[in-house]
């Protein structure tokens, strides 16, 4: 819960209170998480086949953070995230086709194949980018929130980053300005316990990231991700604080990635036992168990899962058969107007 005792949080309305259709809602979140999981698994396969080059940072294990937090948003709200951006892009509504084609470097990708894995961008869903410079996007996200406030359009910006970004200047500059100007933004630290291969205890003097909020006088929250609905509820409180009172919040979400930092990382810095223990708490798996336990119905779940398989297979096929971007794209997307080639 919020640590602030000075701010009263008004009662939540939709989308958090869902007296009816709660199970359908959970099924929808499960569907989104499964889509991310399956897209990432297929991306890993395509990477191994050499169809995706360069760097590939998978979101496997962390799906509940993107899906739960974005469930608390309205479609017109903004998200800005890190290089581990596939999950956030899909949860915000970008198509699996546009994502996979971008990974394959094809002209049909969300950035016409120019960005690749770390630099997704989708104007239609207000996904304002994955950013490859750690922490550099945090002041940028504050600027998006500044513009929301300036225009009084009631929109909220979610800004995601890892705990590794908290030690860099951009984090402090962004949070400092958001606090000073009371911007409608939620800073979500996805603390997956390893900044690349270095564990939390070796990279931060204070392991509780949310404590940084105290110095800036903003609200904070901190919790372990177990249940996607819980993420929606907790982030929802911060979103509401942003939307209704134009106040920023720093939320530390403790999560865990099941794969290495990137495809080239065998993750030898942690034990197999630790990984297996964490996999038992997989929020995706837990959501499925809950759906079954509460009577959503195995046959409906099967149908949902088959639809995801078809969607992912279609995305891979689409990426495979899409054309490469033409070299003429290079200069014409660098400048606009009379100077464009």
Partner 1 sequence: MNLVQAINDALKLEMKRDPRVVVLGEDVGRVGGVFRVTQGLWDEFGDDRVVDTPLSEGGILGTAIGMALYGLVPVPEIQFADFIFPGYDQIVSELAKMRWRSGGEYSAKMVVRTPVGGGIRGGLYHSQSPESLFIHVAGLKVVCPANPYDAKGLLLASLRDPDPVLFFEPKRIYRASRGDVPEGDYTVELGKAKIVREAEAAPGKPAVTILAWGAMLYEAVAAAEKALELGVECEIVDLRTLWPVDVETIAASVEKTGRVIVVHEAPKTCGFGAELVALINERCFLSLEAPPVRVAGFDTPFPYTLEMDYLPLAHRILPAIVETARY
* Binding footprint of partner 1 on the chain (CB under 8 A): 78, 80, 109-115, 119, 121-123, 128-129, 131-133, 136-148, 150-151, 169-170, 173-174, 176-177, 180-181, 332-339
Cα–Cα distance list, 313 to 39, 91, 123, 153, 307 (Å) = 9, 18, 25, 38, 10
Q: State which residue, 92 or 254, has the beta carbon closest to partner 1.
A: 92
- Tokens matching residue 320: 């495979």
Separation of alpha carbons 145 and 246, rounded Å? 9
Q: Which three-class secondary structure state does DSSP give residue 180?
A: helix
In angstroms, give the least distance from the CB of 187 to partner 1: 13
In the block, residue with structure tokens 């639809």? 307
In angstroms, give the least distance from the CB of 199 to partner 1: 26
Q: State which residue, 132 or 197, has the beta carbon closest to partner 1.
A: 132
Give every CB contact of residue 47 below 8 A, 6+ residues apart in sequence. Answer: 56, 263
Q: State which residue, 62 or 126, has the beta carbon closest to partner 1.
A: 126
Q: Give the E-state strand segments of 214-341 in sequence order.
A: 219-224, 249-254
Q: State which residue, 33 or 101, has the beta carbon closest to partner 1.
A: 101
The size of the chain, in residues, is 341
Separation of alpha carbons 226 and 65, rounded Å? 10
In angstroms, give the least distance from the CB of 245 to partner 1: 18
Cα–Cα distance list, 1 to 102, 155, 240, 252, 281 (Å) = 38, 22, 13, 11, 22
Neighbours of 99 (CB within 10 A): 25
Q: Which three-class secondary structure state does DSSP give residue 232?
A: helix
Cis status of the peptide bond prior to 15, with omega within 30 of 0: yes
- Tokens matching residue 170: 């951009």
In angstroms, give the least distance from the CB of 116 to partner 1: 9
In angstroms, give the least distance from the CB of 341 to partner 1: 11
In angstroms, give the least distance from the CB of 91 to partner 1: 19
Q: State which residue, 30 or 121, has the beta carbon closest to partner 1.
A: 121
43: Cα separation from own chain's centroid:
17
In angstroms, give the least distance from the CB of 114 to partner 1: 6
Q: State which residue, 139 or 283, has the beta carbon closest to partner 1.
A: 139
- Tokens matching residue 325: 């971007």
Backbone angles phi, psi at 117, to 5 degrees: -50, -45
Backbone angles phi, psi at 191, to 5 degrees: -85, 100
In angstroms, give the least distance from the CB of 128 to partner 1: 6
In angstroms, give the least distance from the CB of 216 to partner 1: 12
């Amino acid at each position: 819960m919020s640590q602030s005792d000075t701010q009263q949080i008004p009662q939540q309305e939709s989308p958090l209170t869902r007296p009816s259709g709660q199970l359908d809602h959970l099924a929808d979140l499960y569907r989104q998480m499964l889509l991310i999981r399956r897209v990432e698994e297929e991306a890993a396969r395509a990477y191994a086949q050499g169809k995706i080059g360069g760097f590939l940072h998978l979101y496997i294990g962390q799906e509940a953070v993107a899906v739960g937090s974005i469930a608390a948003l309205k479609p017109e709200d903004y998200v800005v995230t890190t290089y581990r951006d596939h999950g956030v892009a899909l949860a915000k509504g970008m198509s699996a086709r546009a994502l996979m084609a971008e990974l394959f470097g094809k002209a049909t990708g969300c950035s016409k194949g120019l960005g690749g894995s770390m630099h997704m961008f989708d104007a239609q869903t207000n996904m304002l980018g994955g950013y490859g410079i750690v922490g550099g996007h945090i002041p940028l996200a504050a600027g998006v929130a500044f513009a929301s406030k300036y225009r009084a359009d009631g929109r909220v910006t979610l800004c995601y980053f890892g705990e590794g970004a908290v030690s860099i200047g951009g984090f402090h500059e962004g949070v400092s300005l958001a606090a000073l100007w009371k911007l409608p933004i939620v800073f979500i630290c996805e603390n997956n316990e390893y900044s690349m291969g270095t564990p939390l205890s070796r990279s931060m003097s204070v392991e509780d990231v949310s404590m940084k909020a105290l110095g800036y006088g903003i609200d904070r929250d901190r919790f372990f991700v177990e249940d996607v609905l819980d993420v929606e509820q907790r982030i929802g409180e911060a979103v509401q604080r942003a939307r209704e009172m134009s106040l920023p919040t720093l939320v530390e979400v403790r999560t865990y990635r099941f794969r290495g930092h990137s495809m080239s990382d065998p993750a030898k810095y942690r034990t197999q036992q630790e990984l297996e223990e964490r996999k038992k708490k997989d929020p995706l798996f837990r959501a499925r168990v809950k759906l079954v336990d509460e009577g959503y119905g195995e046959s409906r779940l099967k149908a949902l899962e088959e639809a995801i398989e078809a969607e992912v297979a279609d995305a891979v096929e689409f990426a495979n058969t899409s054309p490469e971007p033409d070299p003429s794209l290079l200069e014409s997307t660098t400048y606009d107007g009379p100077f464009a080639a």
